[in-house]
Every structure is written in C-alpha cells, then in structure tokens.
Amino acid sequence: MNRIPRFAEYVSKGWINIKGKPELLKAKGAAENYDGHLGIGITNALFCSERAMKLAEVHGIGLVALKNTTHWMRGGTYAWKIAEAGYIGISWINTESCMPMWGSDVKSVGNNPFCIAIPREDGQIVVDMAMSQYAYGKLGVYRLAGKKLPYPGGFDKDGNLTDDPGAIEDSMRILPTGYWKGSSLAIALDLAAAAISGGLCGSDMDDNNNGSCTGCSQIFIAIDPYMFSTKEDVQTMLNRRVSIADSAHPIDLKHPVKCPGESTIARRRKSMSEGVQVDDTIWEQVCSIAEGKSLSGHIE
C-alpha cells in the first residue's frame, strides 16, 4: 500500500508500462528467459513464478530468468507462492546501488534481496532477506520515534559504526548484512541475475537513473521437494526440524524462538480477519490517485 503513490508516479514517468507483459525470448530444457517489457513488477514476477513451477513439474527443477522488469514490491511474495504450491522457491533480484560495497564509503551495490521458501504444510518457512542490515525506510521509522537501532546499522560520517539512524541517513553508509558478507553476496547475486537473464546489472541501472528497480533482472527457481522422497517423509522431517528449532532455549522466556515465516503467518492471519492497518497519509494519497486527482490522470 505504501508504494502505490510511487508506482503511480513511475507509470506517469513511463518507467512502468502497465501494458507490458512477459515475452518468452528463449528456452533451454528446464530454463526460460523472458523480457518483462517494463511491465508491472508484481504480475511479471507472478507469471515467472508460475512458469518456474511448470518447468519443475517436468524437470524436477525449473529456472526462469526475467529481464527488463520493474519493482516486485514485497520480494518474499514469489518464493512464498511457490512454496504454497508445494515447491521449494528461490528468487532474487538486482537493484540500483543503494549501499556501499565493503571497503567503500559511497553507494556502489544494490541491496539485492534473496528469498527462499520451504513448502511446510504446517506453515511455510520463508526468508526474504535484503543484503543491507536495515532498509532506509526502517532507519526513518527509528529516527522519527527518537530511538536507536537495536544493533549497529551503518557508519557515521567519521566512519564509526553506529546505531544512530539519523547519522547513517546523513552519511548514506548503511551496513551490508554481516559486513563484508552481505556486500559479497550482493555483488554475486547482481552478476548472476544479469548474466542469466541477459538483462541489466546494478551499475547499468545506476546509469539509467530511472528510480528503484526500473529495468531490473530477476531469477525464479522452483524445486520439486518430493521427486526423491515421499511427501510424508519430507513433511515429517520439516516438522521435526522446525519443532526442535522452535523449542531451542530462548534468551527471554516470553519470546520463544521462531523459524522465519512463522510470525508473518500469524500477522497475516490477523490481517485477514481484522483488515490491514494503513497509514493515514498513504491512504489519502491512494484515494486521491484513485479519484483521478494527483497522478492518476496519467494512468488509463
């Protein structure tokens, strides 16, 4: 919801082509390559997730490489969809530069989210992990609340590691996840996405300077978890492992350990029954766009 105003802005600027659809360019065995024609990032990515599963159905594993697409919004959506359909889902995206490479003090690599989801019938296990420790949006939330970050999230202008969100917003030196590790994985994911899809790499997007993720490259992989074992054996193992992880002795007895995705499922259940909380300002903007004021004149 928060991103609808920006989506409308991008449409008005021609950075998103709402008539663009994925076009099959080439295929080989278990893999397909699509041009997203700058279409709507969400529908392009959903289409490619479906195709990856169709390929996995036949070949055990399926890969779809999508180039020239736009922001997929919540990255975890696609691996989650793949897991809901009974496959292991892996996906990632490259973005324009938004954080410093390790050893640099200027933004030089994307935060290139990597997602993996496991089809556990008692609750999907889903990781949706940007390569920066905190998003800029999160820094703003803490700063406005007058709070420090829970853990250091970047360097200040003098190069000191800090948990002061404002100091990091000033320096623009957000921290890669795990210091050098997140920086390394970010550049590797960028290269892999661009190489396989034949699309733009992060620095190409920097050159184009068309906002967030415009023209980006995305990879979707689906793997059949039941091709070598029975579904019952796999689900039994998943439940056994998750149950043991969740019962690991907690630091705080009031906060039991949770595997990734479990809390989201609980929040989602609440949202589905009670509705979704929307920021008032965002809601006004969205209503304004819907009523044809503001930017919506540029949208059909």
Residues 20-59 that bind a second copy (CB under 8 A): 25-26, 28-31, 33, 58-59
Dihedral over alpha carbons 187, 42, 299, 279 (to 10 degrees): -90
Instruction: Work out how close the CB of 109 gets to a second copy at its nearest, in angstroms, rounded to a whole number.
Output: 6
Conformational region of residue 85, where left means phi above 0, alpha means psi within -120 to 50, and beta covers everything else: alpha
Does 191 bind a second copy (CB under 8 A)? Our answer is yes
Task: Specify the residue, 38 or 242, whose C-beta has the smaller distance to a second copy.
Answer: 242
DSSP three-state, residue 206:
helix
Q: Are 111 and 95 in contact, with CB atoms under 8 Å apart?
A: yes
Pairing between β-strand 107-109 and β-strand 99-100 as defined by DSSP bridges: antiparallel
Q: Are 225 and 119 in contact, with CB atoms under 8 Å apart?
A: yes
Does 295 bind a second copy (CB under 8 A)? Our answer is no
Task: Name the one range near a second copy by CB under 8 A: 38-46, 69-77, 191-199, 273-281.
Answer: 191-199
Q: How many residues does the chain have?
A: 300
Does 68 bind a second copy (CB under 8 A)? Our answer is no
Distance set, CA 224 to CA 45, 117, 120 (Å): 19, 12, 13
Residues 125-144 that bind a second copy (CB under 8 A): 125-127, 129, 133
Interaction mask 240-269, a second copy, x per CB under 8 A: xxx-xx--xxxxx--xxxxxx---------
Helix axes of 76-84 and 41-59: crossing angle, nearest 10 degrees: 40
Instruction: Work out how close the CB of 100 gets to a second copy at its nearest, in angstroms, rounded to a whole number.
Output: 7
Task: Specify the residue, 5 or 22, whose C-beta has the smaller distance to a second copy.
Answer: 22
How far is Cα 209 from Cα 19, in angstroms, rounded to an integer? 22
Instruction: Work out how close the CB of 79 gets to a second copy at its nearest, in angstroms, rounded to a whole number.
Output: 10
Instruction: Work out how close the CB of 227 gets to a second copy at its nearest, in angstroms, rounded to a whole number.
Output: 4
Instruction: Work out how close the CB of 30 gets to a second copy at its nearest, in angstroms, rounded to a whole number.
Output: 4
Does 85 bind a second copy (CB under 8 A)? Our answer is no
